[in-house]
């Protein structure tokens, strides 16, 4: 799990060139935000390292990032597949009804007739809308689209999402 108050802005996919740059697959709503990031955390889930973004370029759907003090391909290779973490404030300006993925994952899901059906284990990005994978204790999975007709309430404080299941979803 990530440090409190931090969310993933992207994942380092590979090196770029020989001067310590990396290719990053962005997970923030607007990849241009990388230009405003200063200090970040690099995390592999077990270890976190502070870093400072020195330079940012954009190429197709990727962000090319150069970290201050990392000037060689050999120094940056170890960060392949690591996440770049930023503060929540830096990551996005969330509107009402928008949430960070890290806050949604693990929520208990309860139907509008008060049946607990499981926990959110994965978020699928389909293009039209996100889809939440809910896994019950029996291992059965239910896919719930993140649309107004299905998502009735999100209570982050209590770790609960209240949903309405459309016909055929169970």
Residue 54 lies inside a defined structural domain of this protein: yes
**CATH code of residue 107:** 2.30.30.240
Residue 109 is encoded by which pair of tokens?
């899901």
Give the C-alpha separation, 21 to 39, whole Å.
16
- For residues 27, 4, 132, 140, the Cα torsion angle rounded to the nearest 10 degrees is 130
Q: What angle do CA 128, 30, 40 make, to 5 degrees?
A: 130
Q: Give which of 51, 24, 30 is closest to 40, Cα–Cα.
A: 51
Same domain, 26 and 57: yes
Residue 168 lies inside a defined structural domain of this protein: no
Give the C-alpha separation, 5 to 115, whole Å.
31
Same domain, 31 and 86: yes
CB 79 within 8 A of CB 42: yes
Give the C-alpha separation, 104 to 110, whole Å.
14
Q: Walk along the chain (170 residues) and give the pLDDT tens digit of each residue.
A: 456 778 888 999 999 999 999 999 998 878 888 998 989 999 998 999 999 999 999 999 899 999 999 999 999 999 999 999 998 877 777 778 778 888 899 999 999 999 999 999 999 888 788 899 999 989 999 999 999 999 999 999 999 999 999 988 87
**CATH code of residue 42:** 2.40.30.60
Q: Give which of 101, 22, 14, 30 is closest to 55, Cα–Cα.
A: 22
Domain total of the chain: 2
- Asked whether the CA dihedral 14, 94, 7, 103 is positive or negative, the reply is negative
pTM: 0.65
């Amino acid at each position: 799990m990530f440090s409190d108050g931090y969310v993933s802005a992207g994942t380092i996919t590979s090196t770029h060139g020989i001067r310590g740059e990396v290719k990053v697959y962005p997970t923030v709503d607007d990849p241009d935000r990388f230009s405003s990031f200063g200090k970040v955390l690099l995390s592999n889930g077990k270890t976190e390292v502070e870093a400072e973004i020195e330079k940012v370029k954009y190429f197709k759907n990727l962000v090319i990032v150069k970290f201050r003090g990392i000037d060689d391909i050999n120094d940056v290779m170890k960060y392949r597949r690591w996440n770049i973490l930023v503060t929540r404030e830096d990551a996005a300006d969330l509107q009402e009804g928008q949430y960070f993925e890290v806050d949604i994952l693990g929520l208990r899901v309860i139907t509008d007739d008060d049946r607990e059906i499981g926990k959110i284990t994965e978020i699928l990005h389909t293009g039209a809308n996100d889809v939440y994978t809910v896994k019950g204790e029996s291992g059965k999975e239910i896919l719930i689209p993140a649309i107004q007709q299905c998502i009735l309430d999100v209570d982050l404080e209590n770790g609960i999402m209240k949903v309405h299941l459309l016909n055929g979803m169970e």
